[in-house]
Chains A and B, each alone.
Chain A
């Protein structure tokens, strides 16, 4: 394997920007039309992702310790798309054809190097997928309840058809047939229950295809497809420290799951939940939070509004209000919500003396801004 030559040939293709992955996919769909079903209608974002991933592989090709875990995770993740071992040679062939097309100095040696390298990559991914074969590649889940709580936010209750185990605080990537082959991450808002029901809080983003479909078009009886659960925002199983949970917007979902975990599994401890919103009518889960607060003496819920001076609730952003009720130096802190809110909250708490390792955060953001009409995806 002549790695420098391979990197050079890849750079030549990458220099053509969007044209290279565009060529790659067109070649793949022509030679293997059955693969078109594995991809969404609009491929603009997919192209970016593919070549970024390939770039990473090429960059780390001689750093096996870094590359192999990456590839193994990719191989496992690809199961939910319906990828099987037979797809890999087709992809390899189209990859070589693409590289050849953009490289005038392509020769047989390069072809051999690339074939060898791709073979190694594919083997790692296929093997990782096969190792994970004891759990299903995806879970079909039926929507059993759909409540439109505000203009933008809906709360869905779904039941997976097969056993689905998750740790409270984790999220799941899901797909709806209303927008085929577009996968988005949502946090599960409850701990595992005997009836298997999972609660999802969905906020419709402007121009977002999946979130708007879930809020406005999904109904009871609709079927979603779940990938495996993932995420690191979870309680430390060793500790029974008191908790401070700060939520902004739909960041409430994973923190509500943590509250549910404390209620169901214990150990009991004091939990202070601060939920922030812009205005009072933006609290989409107020009733349920009040019910929880009344049912559990160890739980305190504080609602904070940042742009509603006429409201009787506490005024200020979530971080400000949380800090006001401090000190929280003895507590474990979990923060979830939009990026600005999370950063602000963490900064305030650190200033007040909470230790960095006690604060864990998760940022909720739109999966992507849509591509504009020139096909450019701007972050």
Chain B
């Protein structure tokens, strides 16, 4: 069927057609000149539309009720509003204040520790220097004492008798030292000759030469009581120079 006629009569816009309206509408009879619809078709369709409208209205009511129920559930939950610019700005300033405090605290801590460390190192350095100076002074004093230790302290008041006694003492002392030195050197020379002799067997003497000490004791022992052991010239050993009369045991042959 061709819907070239509006079957529903016009109504005021604010009133929506209800199913009852659809069922109750009275169509004007078609004239001879205008062909109309088959009445049975129209009745059938009208019933269809009325049912559909009723069903839609019922569904709408149901949904409305459901929405109301859900809204009631959400009533307690407030969706968060986006924060205002002022609020964000206030929080930003607060954060900056906190950052400032922390930065100051860290800066203070850094200065304190680096100052403390610098002071500590300075004190250590000064202590080391003064300890070094004390040790140095002690060495010098010892050296001075050693170099002037042989001579007895000369009295300020020049007592001629005293002076003569001292001179005699010094002479005797010098003599004793010379004797000791000579016998030591002789022993050394003999020692050296013996060593040299061993190094070149062709030039060696048949019997081992004994040092004065050995001859005195009559036993083949090495030189004893030497002030220092002087290594032979071709020896690779580093010289062990005893100081201040340290006794060093000689080599046994």
Q: Which chain B residues (82-135) contact chain A, with CB distance < 8 Å? A: 82-83, 85, 87-89, 91-92, 95-96, 98-100, 102-104, 106-107, 109-111, 113-114, 117, 120, 124, 128, 132
A residues contacting the other copy or chain, number (CB 8 A):
30
B80 CB within 8 Å of chain A: yes
Verify A30–B88 contact, CB threshold 8 A.
yes
Verify A373–B95 contact, CB threshold 8 A.
no
A31 CB within 8 Å of chain B: yes
A180 to chain B, nearest CB (A): 12
Verify B88–A26 contact, CB threshold 8 A.
yes
- Tell me the nearest residue of chain B to A22, going by C-beta: B92
A207 in contact with B88 given A22-B95, A310-B128 (CB within 8 Å): no
- Tell me the nearest residue of chain A to B121, going by C-beta: A279
Interface size class of B (residues with CB under 8 A): 20 to 34
A42 in contact with B103 given A22-B95, A23-B92, A206-B110 (CB within 8 Å): yes
- Total CB contacts across the A-B interface at under 8 A: 78
Verify B83–A27 contact, CB threshold 8 A.
yes
Verify B88–A27 contact, CB threshold 8 A.
yes
A197 to chain B, nearest CB (A): 30
- Flag A24-39 by CB within 8 Å of B: 1 or 0 each: 0111011100000000
Alpha-carbon distance A279/B107, docked complex (angstroms) = 27
Residues on A with beta carbons closer than 8 Å to the beta carbon of B104: 373
Verify B100–A41 contact, CB threshold 8 A.
no
A370 in contact with B107 given A26-B91, A26-B92, A206-B114 (CB within 8 Å): yes
A371 CB within 8 Å of chain B: yes
Residues on A with beta carbons closer than 8 Å to the beta carbon of B100: 373, 375
**Which of B80, B99, B114 has the most chain A CB atoms inside 10 A of its CB?**
B99
A51 to chain B, nearest CB (A): 15
Residues on A with beta carbons closer than 8 Å to the beta carbon of B87: 30
Verify A206–B109 contact, CB threshold 8 A.
yes
- Flag A161-180 by CB within 8 Å of B: 1 or 0 each: 00000000000000000000
A372 CB within 8 Å of chain B: yes
Verify B106–A370 contact, CB threshold 8 A.
yes
Verify A370–B103 contact, CB threshold 8 A.
yes
B216 to chain A, nearest CB (A): 46
A151 in contact with B120 given A27-B88, A29-B91 (CB within 8 Å): yes
A371 in contact with B103 given A27-B88, A30-B91 (CB within 8 Å): yes
A315 to chain B, nearest CB (A): 15
Verify A371–B91 contact, CB threshold 8 A.
no
Residues on A with beta carbons closer than 8 Å to the beta carbon of B114: 206
Alpha-carbon distance A179/B247, docked complex (angstroms) = 67
A306 CB within 8 Å of chain B: no
Verify A371–B110 contact, CB threshold 8 A.
no
- Flag A254-283 by CB within 8 Å of B: 1 or 0 each: 000000000000000000000000010000
A378 to chain B, nearest CB (A): 12
Verify A207–B106 contact, CB threshold 8 A.
yes
Residues on A with beta carbons closer than 8 Å to the beta carbon of B132: 310
Q: Which chain A residues (69-100) contact chain B, with CB distance < 8 Å? A: 97
Q: Which chain A residues (12-28) contact chain B, with CB distance < 8 Å? A: 19, 22-23, 25-27
Residues on A with beta carbons closer than 8 Å to the beta carbon of B82: 31, 97
Verify B103–A375 contact, CB threshold 8 A.
yes
Verify B106–A371 contact, CB threshold 8 A.
yes
B96 to chain A, nearest CB (A): 7
A379 to chain B, nearest CB (A): 15
Residues on A with beta carbons closer than 8 Å to the beta carbon of B99: 42-44, 371, 375
Alpha-carbon distance A26/B107, docked complex (angstroms) = 25
Residues on B with beta carbons closer than 8 Å to the beta carbon of A30: 83, 87-88, 91
A337 to chain B, nearest CB (A): 19
Could you list 8 A-B pairs, sorted by A, with CB under 8 Å? A31-B80, A42-B102, A44-B99, A204-B113, A206-B111, A206-B117, A371-B102, A375-B96
List residues of B whose CB falls within 8 A of some A CB: 80, 82-83, 85, 87-89, 91-92, 95-96, 98-100, 102-104, 106-107, 109-111, 113-114, 117, 120, 124, 128, 132
